[in-house]
Chain A
């Protein structure tokens, strides 16, 4: 059984799913509204002779029908950031506001971090955490090019994130875009399935639970936490949500986006499991995005409200 066959029972159109997984991923860029406007970003792309199509769900997120462009003026000015279309989803769902306190728990290399900063109009406090120093330098390079100034950067295990440097106050919102098994990135990295094994899924799910718990604890009552992955594995998606619903004061809430998606699942069985898994009904509010639904990478996204 191949890795993807495992997920066939979850997918409406298996043939379309496999076809999409084999096509290369279309390039996309996000116009960085910290340094320009969407209108001027489009003019600069026109002037540079770069074709683009607007996505119908997020203004300023543009598909590039040709291959990834090389160096160009709008890029070196930090007006554009290359970002896979579906990866712009979690920051959009989190919807941070200017002046708020926001935590990006697994921030490097900073595509979503800089999108959060732009949504905040570069005002308020955006704390970005990552545990890998090498990836943190990529993050810093991206956020500086994009002109982000409301960012505080910590290098630590997100499970042990300390609020001490930030005057101890809780966050209004947190983004938990965790490391995962990444089957959803198969269109840009075909090797991802070669490295897949079930023990790693289990180990990764343990880390994901720890990070999501910490984010819920660090967010104020009534605040919002968005949990996202690029894996199809229910153990790393609904399984993690089900766990934190038991352990922390929070609930999974519905949200709308302009992308085709399937709901989160409440039951899961597989050869690797001794017995079927069952998840809380509310995880159906989460969204599963398969590559064939919108011609993107694969993704999982859930919105939680902190209730205690």
Chain B
């Protein structure tokens, strides 16, 4: 057995700044998280200047608007923002609703009827010239585009990633 630190799934560990600071294998770093939001969605790192990122549960990254001494053995810290430790990282609906208005790319805007299908959890055929993979899906609310959640685009189809408990028939 190695003495390497491992991920403890019941406590919050602040993610390391960079790969050079990493002690827990496979843990995302702050630099990687900021790069990912910028590369995937064009969300500038400055948006997260006042945030710290924490892992609790394998691959689950939480964004907290403050700082505490790591580790923190409590039940919740900020909001779940991102799923890592898998090939394609996936943002949460909550993070997309909270930070998605800063996105400048891989944003897909839906008409009202398509937005309702998406919120109900339905998949739909759609034309999209951009990247495949996870997209920030928006629609107009109070006259401006507003992020609803995460869609997965592959082979001409937009799959709704709205979690079952959040789906609604509107």
Instruction: State in angstroms the CA–CA spacing of A74 and B119 once bound together.
Output: 12
Q: Please state if B66 and A125 are interface contacts (CB–CB under 8 Å).
A: yes
User: How distant is A68 from chain B, measured CB to nearest CB, in Å?
Assistant: 15
Q: Please state if A71 and B76 are interface contacts (CB–CB under 8 Å).
A: no
Residue in contact with B141 in the complex, picked from A77, A140, A149, CB distance below 8 Å: A77
Instruction: State in angstroms the CA–CA spacing of A76 and B137 once bound together.
Output: 14
**Chain A binding surface SS class:** mixed
Closest B residue by C-beta to A72: B170
User: How distant is B80 from chain A, measured CB to nearest CB, in Å?
Assistant: 7
Q: Please state if B141 and A74 are interface contacts (CB–CB under 8 Å).
A: yes
Set of chain A residues within 8 Å of B94, measured between Cβ atoms: 144-145, 147
Instruction: State in angstroms the CA–CA spacing of A249 and B94 once bound together.
Output: 41
In which size bucket is the chain A interface? 35 or more
Q: Please state if A78 and B76 are interface contacts (CB–CB under 8 Å).
A: no
User: How distant is B75 from chain A, measured CB to nearest CB, in Å?
Assistant: 5
Residue in contact with A36 in the complex, picked from B51, B63, B65, B142, CB distance below 8 Å: B142
Mask, B64-107, CB within 8 Å of A = 1, is 11101100111111111000000000000010011000000000
Mask, A62-80, CB within 8 Å of B = 1, is 0000000001111011110
- The interface stretch among B26-34, B38-46, B126-134, B161-169 is B161-169
Task: List chain B positions with a Cβ less than 8 A from chain A.
Answer: 50-51, 63-66, 68-69, 72-80, 94, 97-98, 119, 141-144, 146, 148, 165-166, 168-170
A-B contact pairs, 16 of them (CB 8 A): A44-B141, A77-B148, A123-B50, A123-B65, A123-B66, A124-B66, A144-B80, A147-B98, A149-B64, A149-B79, A149-B98, A150-B64, A150-B78, A151-B79, A153-B77, A154-B75
